[in-house]
Amino acid sequence: MLPLCVRMQAAEPEKKAPSKKAAPAPAVPDATMTLRNLSGQEVNAKLLSASGDSVTIERVDDGRQFVVDLATLDEFSGERVRQWIQYSPEALAYHFAVDVEKIQLDSSTFMTGGRDLKNAEWAYRVKLTNLTRDPVADAKLEYRIVYDDEVEITRTVVSPGKGANQQDGQLVDLPEMIFNDEIEFETAPVVLHTYEYVPSRGDREFSRDLIKGIWVRVLKGGEVVYEFQSQPSTMAALSWDNEEKGAVRVTNRFRDQFATGQK
C-alpha cells in the first residue's frame, strides 16, 4: 500500500463504539424501483443520476424525466436511493483533476571496458482532486507508468530489454473524499538504463530506456469512472497492461548484436 497525503476538512474526533459483529453489506438496489413520497404517492421509476441532495429519474410509464429532491421521499425510498448512489458506479457524474510531476530519485554512472553505463530511478508525484459534487467513497486509484525498456544492465553485463511500451503500476485504496478534497502520493520507482560505447574505430553504440508517461484510472465498484493520461498523443493507441497487443519486436543494431552474438 502506498502512503497517501490527504487534505481533508477538519472533523470532530470519533468516539469508539462498542465492539460489534460486522453486519453483512447491504444488497445493491436495482436502478428501477418504486419510489414513494411523504404524501404516499408512488411512481415506478428508473434512477439515472444523482447530484447533491437530488436524483434524476425516468418514469417507466412514459419515459419522462424528473429531478427529485431526496428530502421529499419517505424513509424507505430515500434509503434505497442512497444505497444505489453509494454502490452503483453509474450513479454519479464523477470528475477529478490529476496533476503529475516526474521526479528523479537516484542515479549512478560507471564505465567498464570503455562503455558508459547509467542506472536511474524515476517516479511520479501524483495529486488527485475530487471535483465530483458528491462525496466519493470506496473508490480505488490504479496507475501504470509506461516506458520503453531497450537495455538491461545487471552489474556490468549489458543485454537487450523487454521492448517498447512496458507498464509498471499499483492499486491504491482511496479514502472517502468530499468535494475539493485532495490526495497526494509518490509512485513506486522505475529503474531506467542507458548504455553508450564510442570506440576509436567503428560505429557508436547507444541505447537507453525512456519513460513515455503515466496512465491513471479511478475505479468504483470495479468500473472505471475516470481516466487520465499524461501524454495522450503518444499513449492514446496503447491498451491497459498491453492486453490487446501482441508480442513487441523492436529491431536495431544494438539488440541484433546481442541476439546474434556478434562483436
pTM equals 0.68
Q: Are residues 86 and 100 in the same domain?
A: no
Residue 46 lies in a domain: yes
- The confidence score (pLDDT) of residue 222 equals 86
pLDDT band (50, 70, 90) for residue 263: very low
83 occurs within a structural domain: yes
Is 19 a domain residue? no
What pLDDT, in 10s, does the model give residues 52-62?
788 898 999 99
Are 37 and 112 within one domain? Answer: no
Position 211 scores a pLDDT of 97
Cα 150 to Cα 107: distance, rounded to the nearest angstrom: 18
> Looking at the domain assignment, is residue 205 inside a domain?
yes
Query: Tens of pLDDT along 13-41?
Result: 444 445 444 445 455 568 899 999 999 99
* C-alpha to C-alpha distance for 33 and 136, rounded to whole angstroms: 23
In angstroms, rounded to a whole number, what is the distance separating the alpha carbons of residues 25 and 134?
Answer: 21
Q: pLDDT digits over 186-225, tens only? A: 999 999 999 999 888 888 999 999 999 999 999 988 889 8
* pLDDT score, position 23: 46
Residue 109 lies in a domain: yes
Does residue 145 share a domain with residue 65?
A: no
**228, part of any domain:** yes
Question: Is 56 part of any domain?
Answer: yes
The dihedral over CA atoms of 132, 225, 222, 5, expressed in degrees to the nearest 10, equals: -50
pLDDT category, 75, cuts 50, 70, 90? very high
Q: Which of 91, 106, 129 is the last residue of a domain?
A: 91
The total number of structural domains that make up the chain: 2
Residues 245 and 156 in one domain: yes
What is the mean pLDDT of the segment spanning 124-143?
Answer: 92
Beta bridge partners of 159: 152
List Cβ neighbours of 93 (8 Å cut-off, separation of 6 or more).
49, 51, 132
- pLDDT, residue 28, reads 58
Residue 116 lies in a domain: yes
Mark whether 116 and 217 lie in a shared domain: yes
Residues 153 and 127 in one domain: yes
Residue 91: how many other CB atoms lie within 10 Å: 24
Nearest to 251 by CA among 148, 152, 165, 163: 163
Tell me, yes or no, whether 106 and 189 share the same domain: yes
Residues 161 and 64 in one domain: no
The CATH code of the domain that includes 87 is: 2.30.30.700
| Together in a domain, 159 and 76 | no
Q: What does the pLDDT average to over 74-92?
A: 84
Instruction: For residue 73, give its domain range.
Output: 29-91
